[in-house]
Amino acid sequence: MEDFRRCLERQERETNERHRRVDEINELQRQVDEQVLIAVALQDEENQGRRRGSQVGRRRNVERHRHSRGKNLWDSSE
């Protein structure tokens, strides 16, 4: 009976150790994933400035449909 109890205790220790290692690996993977997300976000932020910045030879932003500005507004004088 004593051998059986020791065997169960050993199995429990081994199971706990495996779970601890899996938890440790999962935590390390979570940290790596977080670092990758931060790096991607920083890269996207850096690239965004290049896409939307002013460029030589480009006109200023002008309302595209300037001719329709003010049309279809209710005129209070009528």
Note down pLDDT in tens along the chain; length 78 residues: 899 999 999 999 999 999 999 999 999 999 999 999 999 999 988 887 655 555 666 666 666 665 555 666 665 555
Give the residue ranges of DSSP H helices in the chain: 2-52
Q: Alpha-carbon torsion 10, 15, 16, 18, what sign? A: positive
Distance of alpha carbon 21 from alpha carbon 17, whole angstroms: 6
* 59 lies in some domain: no
* 8 lies in some domain: yes
* 16 lies in some domain: yes
Structure confidence at residue 35 (pLDDT): 97
* 9 lies in some domain: yes
pTM metric for this prediction: 0.52
Taking the mean position of all CA atoms in its chain, how far away is CA 3?
53
The number of distinct structural domains making up the chain is 1
Domain that holds residue 23: 2-50
Taking the mean position of all CA atoms in its chain, how far away is CA 70?
42
* 22 lies in some domain: yes
Structure confidence at residue 62 (pLDDT): 61
Structure confidence at residue 3 (pLDDT): 94
